[in-house]
């Protein structure tokens, strides 16, 4: 990875505090993090460390109580939600532990769905969705509903859906959490292949084993970054 790669997401002295029953509950406590194009970053920490909040902030699904978050050149705190949703929809693809597929839509329709919000014709949406399902090895499962697919197949549908708008960034939240070890390894290999093809991968997990494929490991505890490690893989890419 070239050292001149531009930041795709930047958090600058970010705090996030929730107000619950009149009490301020700090979730993120002054973190700064820069993720560059082509990085594979793992955000790791135990339960309650702030990973979920960090994921929402890094994925521009939430705004900071204090500090600045940039998605490319855009300060998200200055954007209307409608504008942010458009930019986020084009720049970030999301993969979740529970897949988040719509039960009444088949695999092809689930993958094509995000393009509905980008003013793309139905024919083009379906063509691109079919290509992506072929890419993840599900060319024979396009018409199947989610309940007719295995957990691994559903996660592959979710990965194809995350790619439908050709985002720069893939944010994966515990993507192997509901999968057996073999299927989880296959999903992680697919994410690494996408990284080799130039996608920026942000992996949020409590599983230290999954960090072995990452170039950068960010450890969170009590809402703070306790360490920020560049792996040997990262040095080789440079």
Q: Which of 63, 62, 60 is nearest to 35 (CA)?
A: 60
Euclidean distance between CA atoms 163 and 92, whole angstroms: 9
**CA dist 110 to 99, 114, 129, 145, 184, Å?**
11, 8, 9, 9, 21
C-alpha angle 150/46/224, rounded to 5°?
130
Q: What is the mean pLDDT of residues 214-234?
A: 87
pLDDT single digits (tens) 113-157: 998 877 789 999 999 999 999 999 999 999 999 999 999 999 999
C-alpha angle 67/73/74, rounded to 5°?
60
Q: How confident is the model at residue 34 (pLDDT cuts 50, 70, 90)?
A: very high
Query: Quick check: 238 pLDDT over 70?
Result: no
Q: Which DSSP category does 5 fall into? A: P
Structural contact between residues 85 and 60, judged by C-beta atoms closer than 8 angstroms: no
User: Model's pTM, two decimal places?
Assistant: 0.88
Q: Provide the percentage of residues in the chain whose pLDDT is more than 70.
A: 95
pLDDT of residue 16: 96
Query: Quick check: 236 pLDDT over 60?
Result: no
CATH no. of 7-237: 3.40.50.300
In DSSP terms, which residues pair with 61 in a beta bridge?
none
All structural domains of the chain with their residue ranges: 7-237
pLDDT of residue 64: 93
């Amino acid at each position: 990875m070239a050292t001149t790669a531009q930041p795709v997401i930047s958090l600058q002295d970010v705090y996030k505090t929730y107000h619950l029953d009149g009490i301020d509950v700090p979730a993120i406590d002054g973190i700064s993090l820069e993720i560059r194009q082509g990085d594979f970053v793992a955000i790791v920490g135990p339960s309650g460390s702030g990973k979920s909040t960090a994921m929402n902030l890094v994925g521009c699904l939430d705004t900071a109580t204090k500090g600045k978050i940039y998605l490319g050149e855009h300060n998200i705190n200055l954007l209307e939600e409608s504008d942010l949703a458009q930019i986020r929809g084009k720049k970030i693809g999301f993969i979740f532990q529970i897949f988040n597929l719509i039960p009444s839509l088949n695999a092809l329709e689930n993958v094509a769905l995000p393009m509905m919000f980008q003013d793309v014709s139905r024919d083009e949406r379906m063509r691109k969705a079919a290509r992506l399902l072929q890419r993840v090895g599900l060319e024979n499962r396009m018409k199947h509903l989610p309940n007719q697919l295995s957990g691994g197949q559903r996660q592959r549908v979710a990965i194809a859906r995350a790619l439908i708008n050709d985002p720069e960034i893939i944010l994966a939240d515990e993507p192997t959490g509901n999968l057996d070890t073999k299927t989880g390894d296959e999903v992680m290999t697919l994410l690494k292949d996408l990284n080799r093809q130039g996608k920026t991968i942000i992996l949020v997990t409590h599983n230290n084993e999954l960090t072995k494929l990452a170039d950068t490991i960010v450890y969170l505890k009590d809402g703070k970054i306790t360490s920020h490690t560049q792996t040997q893989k990262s040095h080789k890419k440079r």
